Amino acid sequence: MDAREAARLLKGVRAAALAGDRPPAAPRPEIAESWRRMMAGGVHPDRDARSRMLSAAETEERRHVSALREILPVLREGLLPALDEALHIMVVADADGRLLWREGHSSILRKADRLGFAVGADWDEAVVGTNGVGTALVTRRPVQVFSAEHFVSSHHDWTCAGAPVRDPRDGQLLGVVDVSGPLATMHPATLAWVSSVARLAERELRIRHLESLERLRTVAAPLLARLPGRAVAVDPNGWIAAVTGLAPVDRVPLPKSFGPGRVWVPQLGECAVEPLPGGWLLRIAQDRTSTGVTRVVLDLSRAGSWTVTVYGAAGSWSQELSPRHAELLFLLAESPRGRSAAELAAELFGDPTRTVTIRAELSRVRRHLAGVLTHRPYRFAEDVEVELIRPQDPAGLLPHSTAPAVIRARLGRSGSGVIP
C-alpha cells in the first residue's frame, strides 16, 4: 500500500473511532490507546492547540541542565547525514515534551515552524495529541505515527518516529529523539533507525557512567583498605564503586534526602555518610537497624513518574519504578492474597507460561524491597499496610501498559475484555 492510500485508509479509521463506529481496519494498539487518552482528556481532534513557547533563556536553561546535551554528538552523527536526502528533521525533546534541539533540511524546518514544531514548543501528548514525541514519552517505547494516526487533523500531512532515551545511571526518562518529515517521506525502517541511534546514545551515557565510577574507585579504594569494619563508596545514584567488609552488590537505593551525617540506607541500615569526590563514603554501623517496615505507598497517579515509598521505624525512603515494576506492584497491590508466577504472567502478558520473566523481574524488585515482598505466592507482607494511589482519570493508569489486567482496570472491568 503506498503512502497516499494508507493515509486515506487511516483517515477513515480515525473518523470511525471519533464517531464510535466500526472502523474499516483496526488501529494499531498503541495508537488506539493514545486516541482513547486524547478523547478522555478532551483534546480537540480538529483544533491545533499550542501551549506557551519557552523563551530563549528558558530553553537555554533546560539545555544546560539536561543530560541529553551530553549525547547530542551521538544523535547528530547517527541521524543528520541522512536527513537532507530523506527530507526529514531531527528533534530532541526533554521529559516534559519541550523541544530543545532541532536540526535538518531547511525547507522541512520551515514547514515545521508553521506547525508549531519549533524549539521551545510543548509537544506533550495531552497538549497536541498523538505524536512521535509525546506518545513515546507516555508509553516509554519507540513509536511511529503516520498521517491520520496523529489525533489532531493539522498533523496529518506528517510522519514521525520517536524513541525514548533513558539515563542508565538511574533509569530516569531523559526525553525523546524524533525524526519527522512530510507524509511522502515515510519509510517503514525509520523507527528502527531512530531506535538504534537512541540505544547508541544510551550506551554513550553508560560508558561515561562507568568512567566516573572508575574515577571514584581510584579515590575510594585506598581509603577503604585502611578502614575497620564495613563501608562502601557510592556515586550520587547509589552505584557502588568500592566496598570493604561485605559482599559487593551493584547498587543500593539512596533516600531522597541524602547527605552527610547519620542516615538510614535500605539494605545497609544505619550509616555514617561522608562526601567523596564524585560520590559518598558510607560507614555501616556495627548493629544493623531493623527496617521494621509498616507501610508502603504505591503512587501511580502521574504518568511516567511512578514511585514506591516505604515507611518504617527508621524513617522512610522512596524508589522510582520502571514501567514493568510499576505494573507488577500494581497487580500485587490489587491482590492482597498474592499471585503465583503463572497468574502474574497471565495478567501481565496474557500468557501464563512466561513465568521465567516474572520471577526474574520480581527478584529485581525484591532486592530493593527486602522485607516488603514475600513469595510463594508473591504478595506484600501480611503485616505491611499498602496504599495504592491511582490517577484521577482511570484512563491514565499506567498508560504505557498493554497488560490485560491493567487495561481492564482502566475500563473499570473485573473480568477479561477485548479492546476495540
Nine-digit cell string for 140: 516509554
Give the pLDDT of residue 287.
Answer: 59
Quote the mean pLDDT of the chain: 88
pLDDT bucket at 420, cuts 50 / 70 / 90? very low
282 or 336: whose pLDDT is higher?
282
pLDDT digits (tens, 9 = 90+) for 211-263: 999 999 999 999 998 888 899 999 998 999 999 988 878 888 887 777 888 88
| Structural contact between residues 117 and 97, judged by C-beta atoms closer than 8 angstroms | no
**Confidence at 417, pLDDT banded by 50, 70, 90:** very low
- The contacts of residue 135 (CB under 8 Å, 6+ apart) are 30, 34, 125, 143, 145, 162
Give yes or no for residue 370 having a pLDDT over 90: no
Specify whether the CB–CB gap between 345 and 267 falls below 8 A.
no
Q: Predicted confidence band at 369 (pLDDT cuts at 50, 70, 90)?
A: confident
Contacts of 145 (CB under 8 A, 6+ apart): 31, 130, 131, 132, 135, 159, 160, 161, 162
Phi/psi of residue 32, nearest 5 degrees: -60, -40
Query: Across residues 291-306, what is the average pLDDT?
Result: 82
pLDDT tens string 57-67: 999 999 999 99
Please tell me whether residue 264 adopts helix, strand or coil conformation: strand
Give per-residue pLDDT as tens, 376-414: 899 998 888 999 999 988 888 998 888 999 999 988 765
pTM of the model: 0.73
For residue 320, which of 258, 253, 384, 266 has the smallest C-alpha distance? 253
The number of C-alpha atoms within 13 Å of 155 and in the hemisphere containing its C-beta is 27
Give Cα separations from 10 to 28, 42, 44, 248, 390 (angstroms). Answer: 10, 21, 18, 54, 33
What cell was used for 77?
552523527
**Best-predicted range by mean pLDDT among 17-26, 129-138, 408-417?**
129-138
Element (H, E) at 298: strand 293-299
- The pLDDT of residue 416 is above 50: no
Task: Count other C-beta atoms under 10 Å from residue 229's C-beta.
Answer: 11
155-189 tens-digit pLDDT: 999 999 999 999 988 888 999 999 999 888 778 88
Higher pLDDT, 323 or 214: 214
Reduced to 3 states, what is the DSSP secondary structure of residue 292?
Answer: coil
What CA–CA distance (Å, rounded) separates 329 from 331? 5
User: Dmax of the chain from CA atoms?
Assistant: 74
What pLDDT is attached to residue 76? 95
299-318 pLDDT tens trace? 999 887 888 888 876 566 77
Query: What average pLDDT does range 90-105 have in this prediction?
Result: 95
Greater confidence, 295 or 218? 218
